Amino acid sequence: MSAFIKRERRMEIYQYAIEQKYRFFSYADAMLLNKGLTYINTNIL
């Protein structure tokens, strides 16, 4: 997320997520965004 938006906007998004009681999970230091991927089987994780 940090690579795509400014810090101020990112903080607004995080604040909204916290207010909505979203859960944050950190599994690594990076995230892969794959435009062609439409489904992830979470049962294999």
Query: If DSSP states are collapsed to H, E and C, what string results for 12-27?
Result: HHHHHHHHCCCCCCCC
d(CA 11, CA 37): 28
Please tell me the predicted confidence (pLDDT) of residue 29: 61
pTM: 0.48
Q: What is the pLDDT of residues 1-45, one digit of tens each?
A: 677 888 899 889 889 988 988 877 666 566 666 677 666 666 755
**Torsion (CA) 27, 28, 32, 38 in degrees, nearest 10:** -10
